[in-house]
Amino acid sequence: MRQTIFLFLTIFSFLSCSSEGKRIFKRKQKSVYTPSIVNLASLLTEEENYISFPNWFNDSIIVSHNINRIVRKSYLKMDDLENEVQINFIPREIKEYSFTDKGLVSKLEIQNFYDGQEIGSHVFLFGNKKDENEYCDTKLHHLFYVGIENDDEDEYFEESSITTPYKVFEKVEAIKWFSKYQNTETGDYLNFINSPKFWGALSVDSLISPTPKDEIILGVQGRVYKKYQVTNKINEFNVRTYQYDQKIKDKLLNWEANNYPFKQKRDFLYAKNGICYAYIDSIFSNDEFVTRTSSKIYFNKLKDPVRITHLKSNENGDTLFISKDVFEYFRK
């Protein structure tokens, strides 16, 4: 009823203005984009577990802001969003990123906690160069889980029975339009195809002959258009597509992940100055809405994110979950 009244008043107002001979113009809003120190296309997604592609931060901003270390703490749950009252002050996870003078990630330290106790940690070391897909030589320097510890710098833990979500790759092939990387644990391949003329299903199959466990990425790491796996040459699954602003190539508008029957979509919201201040994750099952997570980004004076708060709700608008990520910056 309210929507009907509002629509009637809007139409009446428009007709009144027209009857007075007033002309109404709608200005086209200029698309603006302010780069962020955080790469939201990969950070805070499963993509950040691809450790050998440490493109989580903007290296130019890291250098200009004189940052040599960032500590990110992830808290699992809070009682109250407005006052940020936490059930447990011990974070679920702590990630510490160290940077070179050129703004590249040189070391990543990860600590995991459960019920207030540390249950595991990883330390990864990176080479001082990256390729066009932001790949870096990666070495697992330290691994610890409850009851298992090893500090041997020369051991890569291939024979370890411990499974982790982190994926380390080695570069095995590269030509002008194509790069192939192999997962050091599983042996599966991650294939980047940067030339659109090879993006067709038959071209992909004839050129790289992917298995169902291999992953295919169309584009380059800084500007991915599609990521997927395939069976029987044409049956795609685990498909993720990315949409960018037509005028500003680096401005990511949304990405959508499809793995039937589930679909997840993340929409990025931008302020008038072009900075991303929030994003919304929506999950559907058989095209029916299931849950939504609204994430709001808070900044310091340099426009670096200092906190991202996540509020998860269901189709009725009931709050199911509140969590947050906190960023601390250390400068030279």
User: Which residue ranges form the domains of the chain, and what is each CATH number?
Assistant: 28-331 (2.40.160)
Instruction: Tell me which of 22-31, 54-63, 96-105, 239-248 is least confident.
Output: 22-31
Query: Looking at per-residue confidence, does 16 or 207 come out higher?
Result: 207
- What's the burial of 5, exposed, middle or buried (CB within 10 Å: 0-12/13-18/19+)? exposed
Average pLDDT over residues 48-69: 96
pLDDT value of position 145: 81
10, pLDDT greater than 50: no
- pLDDT range class, residue 88, cuts 50, 70, 90: low
Q: Rounded CA gap, 171 and 155, in Å?
A: 19
192 forms beta bridges with: 179, 217
pLDDT for residue 135 = 97
Least confident range of 11-15, 228-232, 296-300 = 11-15
Region 69-87: what's the mean pLDDT? Answer: 71
Proportion of the chain above pLDDT 70, given as a percent: 83
Look at strands 189-193 and 215-220 and give their pairing. Answer: parallel
**pTM confidence score:** 0.83
79 falls in which pLDDT band (50, 70, 90)? low
Cα–chain center distance at 48: 6
Per-residue confidence at 15, pLDDT binned at 50, 70, 90?
very low
100 pLDDT more than 50: yes
Output b/e per residue, 210-229; b: 16+ Cβ within 10 A. beeebbbbbbbbeebbbbbb
Confidence of residue 28 (pLDDT cuts 50, 70, 90): low
CA distances from 48 to 54, 149, 264, 273 (A): 8, 24, 17, 27
Asked if 153 and 141 touch (Cβ cutoff 8 Å), the reply is yes
**pLDDT digit string, tens, across residues 230-273:** 999 889 999 999 999 999 989 999 999 998 889 999 999 999 99
Residue 205 confidence class, pLDDT cut points 50, 70, 90 = very high
